[in-house]
Amino acid sequence: MANLRKSMLVVSLLMMALCGVSMPAVYQVGDSAGWTSMGQVDYQDWAANKNFHVGDTLVFNYNNQFHNVKQVAHPGFESCNATSPIATYTNGSDTVALEKLGHFYFICGYPGHCQAGQKIDILVAPATSKPNHAASPSTSSASSLYSSNLSWTWGVLGFFLLGFA
């Protein structure tokens, strides 16, 4: 029975790997510049070439004497109003889990910093919208959606069988 369990585990892991189920990623906001108002970083540019998925993590690194991180709703993001944040982070090395789909808006709550560009809009998209559809743009999203679902089915099936083997 042990061999069957092992091979089922290998098969299910292999299916998940082959079909491109992406592993959670950790993003340091602004890369080495971190979370700053000094103008070296265009945070919309920084976010624009990344694909954020549920399960990914953001890390905000900054000097907490001069900055903080306020997660706000869309109006607060647009108007740089941090008076009713959804969440506030002040450690200086803050980890934020992206737990659901949709927009996450973050601004610095210090006066003038958001206006100076210390604000970021993170769009968490479904894991199926991978950037690898250059080869056949018209059909690949449908097929990758299918294969991704299939791989999850196999993965779930594999673990289910493991539990009862």
d(CA 56, CA 53): 6
For residue 159, the Cα-to-chain-centroid distance in whole angstroms is: 25
Shortest distance, position 29 Cβ to Cu ion, whole Å? 12
Shortest distance, position 107 Cβ to Cu ion, whole Å? 9
75: how many CB neighbours lie within 10 A of its CB? Answer: 10
Closest by Cα among 61, 62, 54 to 25: 54
Residue closer to Cu ion by CB (options 37, 148) is 37
For residue 70, the Cα-to-chain-centroid distance in whole angstroms is: 17
Residue closer to Cu ion by CB (options 112, 126) is 112
Q: Give the three-class secondary structure for 52.
A: strand
Residue closer to Cu ion by CB (options 53, 67) is 67
Shortest distance, position 59 Cβ to Cu ion, whole Å? 16
| Residues at the contact surface with Cu ion, assessed by CB under 5 A | 37, 67, 108, 110, 113, 118
Residue closer to Cu ion by CB (options 107, 127) is 107
Shortest distance, position 165 Cβ to Cu ion, whole Å? 54
Burial of residue 161, with CB atoms counted within 10 A of its CB: 0-12 exposed, 13-18 middle, 19 or more buried: middle
